[in-house]
Amino acid sequence: MNHLAKPYRNSFFASLAVAGALALAACSGAPSEGPAEEPPLTGATIGGEFELTNSVGETVRWADFDGQYRIVYFGFAYCPDICPNDMSQLARGLKALEKSNADKAAMIQPMFISIDPERDTPEVVGEFVAAFSDKFIGLTGTPQQVKSAADTFRVYYERGEDLDNGQYLMNHSNIAYLFGPSGEPLATLPTDLGADAVAEEIDKWVN
Ligand code: NI
């Protein structure tokens, strides 16, 4: 088991749902005028400043993407199954959006952030993301930089099982986030439902 069990994710989102319900209750006195649907993560404290390194060794900060929508996924390049699958659904979802709405797709910067800085050098994350898409940037950093970024994005990770070949797994949450042009969280992307569902969700919140 190298990824989070569902109950953890469910309780995480249940707590977000409670926050949402409280916000609704606070607004119940307002006249109902059929407001536009709000992105599900509106107001959530997820994401923010980081300082990391891209695949060619340049320093990259969250603020560098001001004005752009962003997809953020944390994982590790040596992940045998779930990270590659999630990355594939995200890359294919973006490709589908490129076909249906190229202007929207061009507004989005997708990024993969390593939670395995010991093995994921800039070169390794670069090769990893390039296997899925030429749009994704791969980011890594010092163990401290990675820990700080993961905390800011509410991502859990720890070293997992040792393998017979001397390698090891990482336990980590696998959530793909969509952020808006001011770095505000908008939604999670349903990689478990496939590329079309991912494209649909992005299309819904990118305007
Ligand atoms: Ni993984």
Q: pLDDT averaged over consecutive 10-residue blocks of the chain (207 residues)?
A: 48 48 46 74 98 98 98 96 96 98 97 98 98 97 98 97 94 96 98 97 97
pLDDT of residue 23: 46
Cα–ligand 1 centroid distance for 42 (angstroms): 26
Top-level class of domain 51-205: alpha beta
Cα–ligand 1 centroid distance for 172 (angstroms): 7
Cα–ligand 1 centroid distance for 195 (angstroms): 18
Cα–ligand 1 centroid distance for 86 (angstroms): 8
> Is 171 within 8 Å of 1 (Cβ atoms)?
yes
Distance, in Å, from the CA atom of 198 to the CA atom of 134, rounded to the nearest integer, reads 18
Cα–ligand 1 centroid distance for 18 (angstroms): 28
Residue with tokens 């969509």: 178
> Is 170 within 8 Å of 79 (Cβ atoms)?
yes
pTM for this prediction: 0.84
> Is 140 within 8 Å of 35 (Cβ atoms)?
no
pLDDT of residue 33: 54
pLDDT of residue 36: 79
pLDDT of residue 207: 92
pLDDT of residue 34: 57
**Ion ligand 1 — residues with CB < 5 Å:** 75, 79, 82-83
| 3-state secondary structure at position 172 | strand
What are the phi and psi torsion angles at 19 (to 5°)?
-60, -40
pLDDT of residue 127: 98
pLDDT of residue 26: 45
pLDDT of residue 2: 55
pLDDT of residue 21: 45
